[in-house]
Amino acid sequence: MAIVSRIIGTGSHLPDKVLTNVELSKMVDTTDDWIIDRTGIRERRICKEGETTSVLALQAAENALEAAGITAQDIDQVIVATTTPDSTFPSTATKVQAMLGMDHGFAFDVQAVCSGFIFALSIADNAIRAGQSKRILVIGSEVFSRIIDWTDRTTCVLFGDGAGAVVVEAQEVADDQKVGILSTHLHSDGKLREILYCDGGPGSTATTGHVRMLGREVFRHAVTNLAAVANEALEANGLEAKDLDWLVPHQANKRILDGTAKKLGLREDQVVITLDRHANTSAASIPLALDEAVRDGRIKEGQYVLTEAMGGGLTWGSALIRW
Ligand code: ACO
C-alpha cells in the first residue's frame, strides 16, 4: 500500500467588480482589439477597498471545504500561494487559519509568483506522502491590482484579482493504483530576475513597488519552459500527451496557451481557459480554472489533468494529476 495525495474538493472566489478592456482604454493608450488580439483577455475582476488577499482566500477555501464535504476542523495545514500578502508579516495563511476558526495545525505562505500554486501543491503532496499531514488546504490568492502601475499599458492590461483553493487528502491505495497527484516538477532560474520583477520590497525600498516586465522576453521563455516541464511530467509517469484529458495552464496569454498546447499536440478543446474573463491572476489562475472545469463537469474522476505555470523568478513547474 502507498499514501497518495488526492484533490477531494475545489473552490474559488472572484471580486464582483469587472474591469473591461474598453474601460481600460480610457485609462491608458490601448484598445479592446489590441488586448484581445495580443493576449486573449476581454475583462478582469478588481478588488474594492478592504477586499484583500485573505478575504478572497477565505471565500475560496470555504467553497473548497464545502465541495469536499468537510470543515476546517478536518484540515491540519494551510498553504497560501501569493505575491500580494495582506501584510509583510504575518503570513496571509496564518490569517486565513484564524478566519477559518482553526486553533490547530499550521499555516504559511509560498512565494513563487505565477507558479506559486504549483509550488504549494508540490509542498502539500510531499507533506502528505511523508505522513506529516492528512488534509491540506492549498490556496492561490492574489490582489495583483495593488502592485500594478496603472499608467503602464504594457502591464496593467494583463492582470486581475481572484482566488482558488483545493483540499488535498492523504489516501491509502494499492502500490500499482496510479491516482491523485502523480508527480510535481519545479524549476527556477534567478539569473532571469530582470525580465519580470517588482521594483520595490519591504527589505529594499520599504515599499511594495510595481510589476515590471520585458513581455517579449518572458513570452519566449514561457513557451519553451512550459512545453519542457509538461514533457518532463509525462516522461516521469511513462505517459504521452495523447493520454492527457485536460491541460489546465497558468493563464497568462492565450498565445502562450495555444503555443504550449500545439507543442504538446493537444486539441484546443482540451485546454481549460478562463483568461478571457479573469486575465492573469498569478498564483490564483490554476485553482480558479480547475474549480471551473470540475464544477461544470469537464474534469471527471479517473482523467489525467496536467497543470503548468511560469512566473517571476523565473520560476516554473508542472503537476500531473489523475483525478
Ligand atoms: N496597448 C497597445 N499597444 C501596446 C500595449 C497595449 N496595452 N502594450 C504594448 N503595446 C505596444 C508596444 O509599445 C509595442 O509598440 P512599438 O512596436 O511601437 O514599440 C507593441 O505594442 C508591441 O509590443 P510587444 O511587447 O512586442 O507586444 P507582444 O506581442 O510581445 O505582446 C505581451 C505583449 C502581451 C505582454 C506579451 O509579450 C506577453 O504576454 N508576454 C508574456 C507575459 C507573461 O507570460 N507573463 C507571465 C508571468 S506574469 C508573473 O509572473 C507576474
Q: Distance between terminal CA atoms of the chain? A: 19
What is the rounded distance in angstroms from the CA atom of residue 281 to the CA atom of residue 83? 10
Q: What is the pLDDT of residue 123?
A: 98
Q: How confident is the model at residue 60 (pLDDT cuts 50, 70, 90)?
A: very high
Do 147 and 187 lie in one domain? The reply is no
Do 12 and 143 lie in one domain? The reply is yes
The residues that bridge with 310 in the sheet, in sequence order, are 316
Do 72 and 206 lie in one domain? The reply is no
pLDDT digits (tens, 9 = 90+) for 136-188: 999 999 999 999 999 999 999 999 999 999 999 999 999 989 999 999 999 99
One-letter amino acid of 147: I
What is the rounded distance in angstroms from the CA atom of residue 240 to the CA atom of residue 226? 16
What is the rounded distance in angstroms from the CA atom of residue 269 to the CA atom of residue 247? 9
Round the CA-based radius of gyration of the chain to a whole number and report it. 18
* Domain edge (last residue) among 173, 199, 225: 173
Q: What is the pLDDT of residue 313?
A: 96
User: How many folded domains does the chain comprise?
Assistant: 2
Do 308 and 257 lie in one domain? The reply is yes
Do 163 and 226 lie in one domain? The reply is no
Do 268 and 157 lie in one domain? The reply is no
Q: What is the pLDDT of residue 302?
A: 97
Specify the DSSP class assigned to residue 159.
B
Q: How confident is the model at residue 86 (pLDDT cuts 50, 70, 90)?
A: very high
Evaluate the omega torsion of the peptide bond into residue 85 and state whether it is cis, within 30 degrees of 0.
no
What is the rounded distance in angstroms from the CA atom of residue 192 to the CA atom of residue 195? 6
Q: How confident is the model at residue 269 (pLDDT cuts 50, 70, 90)?
A: very high
Ligand 1 atom at shortest distance from the alpha carbon of 30:
1
Q: How far is the CA of 240 from the centre of ligand 1 (A)?
A: 33
One-letter amino acid of 126: N
Do 15 and 96 lie in one domain? The reply is yes
Q: How far is the CA of 191 from the centre of ligand 1 (A)?
A: 22
pLDDT digits (tens, 9 = 90+) for 221-266: 999 999 999 999 999 999 999 999 999 999 999 999 999 999 999 9
Supply the mean pLDDT for the chain: 97
Ligand 1 pocket check for 225: Cβ under 6 Å: no
Do 94 and 126 lie in one domain? The reply is yes
One-letter amino acid of 201: G
Catalytic annotation, pick one of 21, 250, 253, 278: 250
Do 139 and 215 lie in one domain? The reply is no
Do 295 and 246 lie in one domain? The reply is yes
pLDDT digits (tens, 9 = 90+) for 207-226: 999 999 999 999 999 999 99
Q: What is the pLDDT of residue 81?
A: 99
Parent domain of 300: 180-322
Task: For ligand 1, atom 44, name the residue with the nearest CA.
Answer: 252
What is the rounded distance in angstroms from the CA atom of residue 12 to the CA atom of residue 64? 7
Do 64 and 156 lie in one domain? The reply is yes
* Domain edge (last residue) among 151, 173, 195: 173
Give me the CATH number covering residue 288. Answer: 3.40.47.10
Our answer to whether residue 250 is catalytic in this structure is yes
Q: What is the pLDDT of residue 136?
A: 98
Ligand 1 pocket check for 215: Cβ under 6 Å: yes
Q: How far is the CA of 120 from the centre of ligand 1 (A)?
A: 28
DSSP-H helix ranges across the chain: 21-24, 32-39, 53-68, 92-99, 116-129, 153-156, 215-236, 254-264, 275-278, 285-295
Q: What is the pLDDT of residue 252?
A: 96
What is the rounded distance in angstroms from the CA atom of residue 261 to the CA atom of residue 214? 23
What's the rounded mean pLDDT across residues 53-73? 98
Do 135 and 230 lie in one domain? The reply is no
Our answer to whether residue 185 is catalytic in this structure is no
Check if the beta carbon of residue 248 is closer than 8 Å to that of residue 270. no
What is the rounded distance in angstroms from the CA atom of residue 72 to the CA atom of residue 110? 20
Q: Quickly tell me which residue has 471545504 as its cell.
A: 65
pTM: 0.97
* Positive/negative CA dihedral, 169, 95, 185, 268: positive
* Domain edge (last residue) among 148, 173, 198: 173
Backbone angles phi, psi at 238, to 5 degrees: 60, 35
